[in-house]
Structure 1
């Protein structure tokens, strides 16, 4: 929200009260409280009829500074008044209170408040200034109409770029934008977003989390072009500065605070196929698609039933439409006998025609209007009400409907909607409807996720969710929502995914081929390559099916190539997924996250790193032209084997079976022995592809089991023309003889191998260890 009128003036109707002079400092063990006047106190009389600003600083965990500002502290806030955080109490801190400043240090991150006027608040990490605020920046904004706000303006340095704030489809770098944190069903082509997160990071290596679930308005280098401004309604403001040695550390700190992404089960990384939305489907149609995929050697992992598995006008009643599916339980068992997992569509709305509506109304399970009547409208579904997830009995009631479906054979739920949450309602627990609007989706997805954990076991739960807010990363997977079948929409989808990844979410997907309209065969084939090189991969549409043979026969071959490629990469991908879950990192990483010192990477939003070692640059035009950037180092094309130097832009043309897919130097990418399913023993018969291992370099990779625990670890080190390669069991430390082999790529000619044999291949040099060997010494030709 904007309060200024240019540089000098304030907008009519507002009074801006900023801290100017420190009046008193109190050290309270592990926190500090600063009282600041809004003017210079020339004499004691100035203390009369004048407000103070109360500023509290503490640390909930290492390298995180909590800043909380009050005007009137006793003014009651509604609930939820903050997000549910994982860190409770205060971390160990060091406080320095002297004549000129007071500071609080947590780990290597410090906040310093000067005592001389005007007040300055500075946040730093290892002595490096991150950002700061002070006089004319931090402010209580008093409004004539009584709708007061609290505002902060944090400094942005020259060249500083801002990212995150949820899944945003506008420009990837948020500088110059106005962003309202308010969940809405706006598709992927507008400034609205399904997943709004009041957290951002910058290329200076820090993050800011505004701990307010209600509307937070950001003016990112817009109202004040050298500031990132955010404001909330009311008389207090709480935010967290998260420091770290890198952006990866910052994301780790943020997700330690709000929750790590849960690790989705391995089967979710396979190919998903859906009925699409308004298309006609019954068991025969579904089987025609599933059998058609099998007949064409297109490995399918999940089949999803969209809305019309239930009767029209009755969403949600959680009952199969018997006119179309007379034997749903038998059908599900027949599908599961084909090796498939099953997902079904749900939303948190109950249409009036659903038999559950009367039940929910009578029991008080639906949101109410202030007069006590059920809140209803006709958008989306006739007379629909909304489940009140603040009512524990309503949660159990809703959950029981899902439990019955799991017992029938359902493995996952697509938790659609959750954004159209009104504010003229009354909640069971008295929650403030403004503060519940964004937070509602957290309760919704949590209920569904926990049902799956209860019924299937921890580690087996997975959603396909559209809406989210801060902390929603705990309930994966999320997808990008309603995109169009255009190259422009494909690109905006990627921007949204990269922004979400820099907002703490580990796993993300999108509708391959676009949701609205129908893709051309050209677009479909290009989107297939992008989709299968994403965290999760789903074929889905609105009014038309998305099976490849309906586009052209070449589309079948393209889908087969990239599906099998992804499945063969599961030892690498699932290892990266486990790392994402442990560390709070996205699988699909913006280039700025992996290459923070490369200023070109700051603005790249049409390419990404898939994990820490693979660079992907999807193609966004019908000519097959690709313009992409390789950072410094040696890069090896994963599909063609071409090895090229980085630090340059490259312009090339690709057919449908190829795209820029490069492996980073000094990396080991394990390739599995199977390409027909996502779940298999990744260690058995694995091939360790070693890419451009430079002299003096060391590389390591872990092979996970199906629970995400490290099972094997392979290491490689290059010194003096020799590469030492070793594979060990992570649990026992013993040698691991599992039929593994090594493929050297982008490395000069091999002259001999101690502990194995070697031979050239189209991909590089293949090295096979002797039986029982766990270590190889590979001799290279002298340069």
Structure 2
């Protein structure tokens, strides 16, 4: 939200009070509090009839600075609030010295220094270097032309600093110059709206910022003031955190430790998911024909998904199978399990008036109400729909009970669609602020479903396919990109959204291969197949047309097989990268700036990504196969054909539909699995360790999880000889190979390979 008319003036009717004079700085044991008047304090009379702004510094975790800016402190906070960890770190609070008139608070490698006299000023240092800061001109207690109160902060941007994140955004990847409103909306992938709004941004300047407000937060990133990032919230209080790096990965580790790490996902979820699509005609015979067709063509399939019309029209959601199309759901689910498939079904938190659950939920008081006590309803999406009130523990238990019946029937996971269309003219059971609940609702919705899956299936076996989220939602994976068009342009905007979400603490991400709206032409579909099957999670899904590969052309079948088998062979590597998302909060699909923070050429790249630390993937967004790929420093090797390219520089290449740039980082020991028919196998048994670009005298490591436990492989090169040693649960069969495929079998826990001349 903009409050100014240019740099010098405010907009008509807007007043801005700023901390012009620091009256006192109080040093606590773990806090530092500054009291600043909004006018000069030369005489006692200057203390009359002026606001006092209170700014408090603290630290909930090492390397994380909490800043609270307050005007009036007597308000009541009805919630909701983000659930944040408090690690009670060691904090050092110090007063002014002869050399420095400022007070300071130090937590880990972050130090905040504040002025103790004159106008308010804040400098934030990471490892002794100032990375950002605030001035009295940036802090503001504001009243707009309608008399509404706001609190604003502005943090400085340095020359060349880039800002990323703020949720899954499909606008330009680098957020500098943009206005971003944190407000969940069902806007598709072709607008500035977002399904997943996260009030956290990540920079390549050594820090990130998280605004601790679950409702509407307005960001002006180098837009209202081009040298600052501004954020504002309605009300009398603003709390935010500056999170130290210096590496962007360090920021993400600390941010996800604060807001929650992604859960571990089961290996089967990495396989190919196939959907009925949305409004297509389908019944049991259609479903089985799709599944049998995949098997007949040698296309490995892991999950089958039933979209909305598994239920009767106008009844969503009553969780009752449509008897006209699925007369024997238990038998059908059993037959799918016999084919070794997991089953996913579509749900949302909306209850149509025609559903028998509407009357039941209304009578029990489990649906969201208006101020007059009536059930909130509208006709968008489903006729007369109501909304489950997840702030009511009994309503949550009721909803989970309906889903439990489906799990008992044989359903394995849920696509938790929607969760963005949340009204603000309602009263919540627990008294939550409707404005704050608008974004936070999706968190309660996905949390309820994910917890149920963990209760029934066990920890590590729960997985969603979720569309909406806010901060902390990364704990309930997986998320997909929403409704995209079936075009190359939309394919690229989907990738931008995924990279933006990865910059916001989310570990796993997917998208509709081929696009959702419309029907892709075969070229778009085949290029999207390669991209989708080299993503964290892979799903064939559309709106009004099927996405079975043979519906396009024979080559689509071959491309599906090639890249599905490639992904399944990479499971020893992908599973390990997924565990890193769970333990460290680092995404599986990584923007290049995250993996190569010292490379200025990588800072703005949004058409490719690092798949974990060792692979670089550049999707092809053209029918003719022309693609520009940025290659970071070193000699990189194509995983598909063994050719090499050097960086740092851009390369233009041309690829057929069965290819794209998949480059292996120099110095990589890449584990390749022995199976290409499924993702959930013993990844250590028969694994091949492929050595790429290992320098003489250097070593490379990787860990593979097998059924008997973890095994660590270490490769060391001396001259033309590479020695690989295995420790831990060493498999009976494994081998080592060069980048060109020359292999030697292992002998116990040790293998040697002579590199080709």
TM-score bucket of the superposed structures, by smaller chain? over 0.9
Match status 1:41 vs 2:49: no
* Unaligned stretches of 5+ residues in structure 2: none
For 1:318-375, what per-residue CA distance to the aligned partner results, in whole angstroms no more than 9, with x for missing partners?
A: 0000111110001100111000000000000000000010000001000001110000
**Number of the residue aligned with 1:29:** 29
Please state how far the C-alpha of 1:119 moved relative to its aligned partner: 2.1
* Unaligned stretches of 5+ residues in structure 1: 731-735, 746-762
Match status 1:767 vs 2:756: no
Please state how far the C-alpha of 1:588 moved relative to its aligned partner: 0.4
**In the aligned structure 1, how far is the partner of 2:706 from the partner of 2:726?**
15
Give runs of aligned pairs for residues 299-314 of structure 1, distance below 5 A.
299-314=300-315
**In the aligned structure 2, how far is the partner of 1:286 from the partner of 1:522?**
25
Give runs of aligned pairs for residues 177-192 of structure 1, distance below 5 A.
177-192=178-193
**Number of the residue aligned with 2:143:** 142
Please state how far the C-alpha of 1:720 moved relative to its aligned partner: 5.2
Structure 1 143/428 Cα, relative in aligned 2: closer, same or farther at 3 Å? same
Please state how far the C-alpha of 1:777 moved relative to its aligned partner: 4.8
Give runs of aligned pairs for residues 673-752 of structure 1, distance below 5 A.
673-705=674-706, 711-719=710-718, 722-729=721-728, 736-745=730-739
For 1:535-569, what per-residue CA distance to the aligned partner results, in whole angstroms no more than 9, with x for missing partners?
A: 00000000000000010011000000000000010
**Number of the residue aligned with 2:84:** 85
SS in 2 for 1:334: helix
Check the 8 A contact 1:695/1:718 in 2, yes or no.
yes
**In the aligned structure 2, how far is the partner of 1:717 from the partner of 1:18?**
60
**In the aligned structure 2, how far is the partner of 1:582 from the partner of 1:283?**
40
Check the 8 A contact 1:634/1:665 in 2, yes or no.
yes
**In the aligned structure 2, how far is the partner of 1:144 from the partner of 1:75?**
22
Please state how far the C-alpha of 1:208 moved relative to its aligned partner: 0.2
SS in 1 for 2:16: strand
Instruction: Give me the TM-score of the superposition, normalised by structure 2.
Output: 0.98
**In the aligned structure 2, how far is the partner of 1:680 from the partner of 1:538?**
20
SS in 1 for 2:603: helix
SS in 1 for 2:153: strand
**Number of the residue aligned with 2:619:** 618
**In the aligned structure 1, how far is the partner of 2:509 from the partner of 2:453?**
19
Give runs of aligned pairs for residues 86-101 of structure 1, distance below 5 A.
86-87=85-86, 90-98=88-96, 100-101=101-102
**In the aligned structure 2, how far is the partner of 1:575 from the partner of 1:187?**
32
Please state how far the C-alpha of 1:26 moved relative to its aligned partner: 1.3
**In the aligned structure 2, how far is the partner of 1:737 from the partner of 1:623?**
44
**In the aligned structure 2, how far is the partner of 1:719 from the partner of 1:128?**
40
Please state how far the C-alpha of 1:584 moved relative to its aligned partner: 0.2
Give runs of aligned pairs for residues 105-504 of structure 1, distance below 5 A.
105-504=106-505
Check the 8 A contact 1:610/1:616 in 2, yes or no.
yes
**Number of the residue aligned with 2:664:** 663
**Number of the residue aligned with 1:752:** none
Check the 8 A contact 1:177/1:220 in 2, yes or no.
yes
**Number of the residue aligned with 1:672:** 673
SS in 2 for 1:646: strand
**Number of the residue aligned with 2:570:** 569
Check the 8 A contact 1:683/1:738 in 2, yes or no.
no
Please state how far the C-alpha of 1:719 moved relative to its aligned partner: 4.3
**Number of the residue aligned with 2:559:** 558
Please state how far the C-alpha of 1:642 moved relative to its aligned partner: 0.7
**Number of the residue aligned with 2:52:** 52
**In the aligned structure 2, how far is the partner of 1:777 from the partner of 1:397?**
60
Question: What is the root-mean-square deviation in Å for CA atoms of aligned residues?
Answer: 1.3
Match status 1:103 vs 2:104: yes
Instruction: Give me the TM-score of the superposition, normalised by structure 1.
Output: 0.95
Deviates more, 1:719-728 or 1:268-277: 719-728
Structure 1 737/574 Cα, relative in aligned 2: closer, same or farther at 3 Å? closer
SS in 2 for 1:530: helix
- The count of aligned residue pairs is 754
For 1:413-457, what per-residue CA distance to the aligned partner results, in whole angstroms no more than 9, with x for missing partners?
A: 000000000000011111111010000000000000011011111
SS in 2 for 1:603: coil
Check the 8 A contact 2:463/2:476 in 1, yes or no.
yes
